[in-house]
Structure 1
């Protein structure tokens, strides 16, 4: 039985913007006053349009729109009368019906019915475990007794040093525990390019004379001013339209770069300028989290948008899921680092700060370090630990080897339990392995 499945309009797809898919025109095209044209629907056998949905679609289109409207009722094209896609220049997945995406979403329903996070083998094997809405709950539950002040200061300083090192490695290595090596491979917006260049410039001039450092500070100030101005300008162009999750990540990681440099540099002027933007970064990180959570309420559209923005993944389910996971996991890590870094700075400055809470992140190193969609998918099927809520981290210390955690996750665990306990955990694990080896010999 054939049914209607509306894809993003031509204008939104070419601009890589989220489409509301309204008829006769989506919100973006209506605001811009441009023709809104949808690609023809294709036949599917795995989704049926019920009577209420059909009535809702029919009532949403005024009578007479089939004549002069740029957007008539979506067609149901059979195999022998499909419109060719050469003139439309659409990405293959969008013209493929929903055979691939909706098959994945039907399996996502299995995961969403599970009460736990990251331990359901069916969800892990299908690669849809990271779409669960319950995995985005911000947890403020205390995890461990307060550490001694000296130990706490050491942990916080280690965290700050690690974030600074990740920025350097983003430039020198092309990736870091915060910046996935694939995130900007297809598309690096100008704001991210500016931040990337600013890191290189800053570290190149760290040991230079006072005049060179002052020039670098002016460049950083101008880049931040440009970032804020661009956000205001782009918001006026969107006319209230929602930003994509990728756009949110780009601006948060860019501002986080400047905040990390200027809050921790020691220059009084740069520090004062960065302190004025602490509320802005907090607000942007919350909007990033909200955007991602909102996108995942419509997983079919989320995955289809991922495929449309990544031309190289449309024919591979593993590649689509890997690209989606990279975006989602980048949201988790960016939110954690941005909030923890600024709260750490405020604690060091005034002796106290708020607890930002924690969202679960993917802790197993094989996933973040995977170099291909196949390697990522294989790791999802084979590992036991995926997303770890705060309440289960205590259990993690008894069931997981320290070397299985990636660098980012090990640092987060260290923030929760302190350096001494984590060092003991690592040492005990090493001793157990040596004992097991000696028993075999």
Structure 2
């Protein structure tokens, strides 16, 4: 009971912004009720399972916190021995690998690993395997993120927004984020304040209009709003404007909970055709929404469905990792420490993400499956396994960026020189 009394409820968003006293009542405070406003409270802070401790030498390490991560399942991932082939029956993930010869033929009896429910579980490493990070490496990631933003506006895709993701339908929140980013990137000294003001207002509007909805909601909505918030925060945090930074820091309070809700939404809907309003052959149910069927369309055995389902799932994974890195890196650079919200699996094989079509993706996948390690996930919290088990030519730019943030450019270049 003493612990509960120490938990102080925060004022609602509108009262905080107006600098007015809030009685913190639910479902709506008295001020919002009187003015007819929609009352929303800040997202709850999720207790991390690991803390990052910053020392006087400019490095920090992750150490277990006293309280486990709330609301997110932590799991011990299966280990793949270097001498084990991905097709070996004793391989713990062998039953989730899909032979290339089966693509585009009969419906498959099981889902690939990237569509299984367990693949969305967040995980952490033992204390004995905690890593240290240097400040220069963290700043390097911020530069990489900004370069990816430029790639998105110039090419229509980047390291965490796949080219096929919004090819059929682009949600309004993504349209707003894209146009805002494009305007900001082409700003001049004369219109800089105008471009920044648009970004600040859209950041505020996004947060006010998007409530912390149930994880049973539309996963595409979760994904698009999270990506949009990443765009706005990345602009406002590093523009240099004090007010913009304050707005972005408010957004950071929302970003991590949205990231967790995104993962939870994907997990709850993976492998469940009924949840996604498709039949056992991947045919939309008349009269039902079909905006979030991408996580299970491979049940129809179509090659294009395989590619799109993988791209959709991978976009979710990479977006979550961007959320984790942006939140923890900024906190570390500002205050010297940050909690660690947990890692997720992703695909880092060279060529898969950049494949321009389903057939191009199939050709790359065939080559990946022919390699010794095969098509298996990378655990973001175990990036050292990439250095130990993979060759530099086998991983893509996104993976190398995570390696650089974790181990530094010097070690990355040493690995490439082997």
- State the TM-score, normalized to the length of structure 2: 0.66
Q: Report the Cα distance in structure 1 between the residues aligned to 2:301 and 2:97, rounded to whole angstroms.
A: 19
Q: Is the 8 A contact 1:138 1:357 kept in 2?
A: yes
Which of 340, 365, 388 matches 1:380? Answer: 365
* Stretch moving more, 192-201 or 352-361: 352-361
- 1:21-420 residue pairs with structure 2 within 5 A? 116-117=92-93, 122-125=97-100, 128-141=112-125, 146-147=131-132, 152-205=134-187, 207-209=188-190, 212-232=191-211, 242-299=216-273, 301-302=275-276, 304=278, 308=284, 309=290, 317-383=302-368, 384-389=374-379, 393-420=383-410
Q: Report the Cα distance in structure 2 between the residues aligned to 1:199 and 1:424, rounded to whole angstroms.
A: 36
- Give secondary structure in 2 for the equivalent of 1:369: coil
Q: Report the Cα distance in structure 1 between the residues aligned to 2:240 and 2:390, rounded to whole angstroms.
A: 39
Q: Report the Cα distance in structure 2 between the residues aligned to 1:390 and 1:288, rounded to whole angstroms.
A: 17
Query: How far has the Cα of 1:361 moved from its partner?
Result: 0.5
Q: Report the Cα distance in structure 2 between the residues aligned to 1:243 and 1:154, rounded to whole angstroms.
A: 39
Larger Rg: 1
Aligned length: 305
Query: How far has the Cα of 1:173 moved from its partner?
Result: 1.1
Q: Is the 8 A contact 2:125 2:382 kept in 1?
A: no
Q: Report the Cα distance in structure 2 between the residues aligned to 1:158 and 1:332, rounded to whole angstroms.
A: 21
Q: Report the Cα distance in structure 2 between the residues aligned to 1:248 and 1:421, rounded to whole angstroms.
A: 36
Alpha carbons of structure 1 residues 391 and 256: separation in structure 2 relative to 1, 3 Å: closer
* Stretch moving more, 336-345 or 215-224: 215-224
Q: Report the Cα distance in structure 1 between the residues aligned to 2:401 and 2:215, rounded to whole angstroms.
A: 37
Q: Report the Cα distance in structure 2 between the residues aligned to 1:407 and 1:271, rounded to whole angstroms.
A: 29
Q: Which runs of 5+ in 2 are unaligned?
A: 1-86, 104-111, 285-289, 369-373
Quick check: which one's strand share is greater?
A: 2
Alpha carbons of structure 1 residues 300 and 114: separation in structure 2 relative to 1, 3 Å: farther
Alpha carbons of structure 1 residues 181 and 223: separation in structure 2 relative to 1, 3 Å: same
Q: Report the Cα distance in structure 1 between the residues aligned to 2:382 and 2:216, rounded to whole angstroms.
A: 35
The CA deviation string for residues 58-96 of structure 1, in whole angstroms up to 9 with x for no partner, is: xxxxxxxxxxxxxxxxxxxxxxxxxxxxxxxxxxxxxxx
- State the TM-score, normalized to the length of structure 1: 0.62
Query: How far has the Cα of 1:221 moved from its partner?
Result: 2.0
Q: Report the Cα distance in structure 1 between the residues aligned to 2:154 and 2:161, rounded to whole angstroms.
A: 12
Query: How far has the Cα of 1:266 moved from its partner?
Result: 1.3
- Give secondary structure in 2 for the equivalent of 1:354: strand
Quick check: which one's helix share is greater?
A: 1
Q: Which runs of 5+ in 1 are unaligned?
A: 1-110, 429-441
- Give secondary structure in 1 for the equivalent of 2:360: helix
Query: How far has the Cα of 1:376 moved from its partner?
Result: 2.1
* Stretch moving more, 282-291 or 129-138: 129-138
Q: Is the 8 A contact 1:364 1:406 kept in 2?
A: yes
Q: Report the Cα distance in structure 2 between the residues aligned to 1:280 and 1:395, rounded to whole angstroms.
A: 32
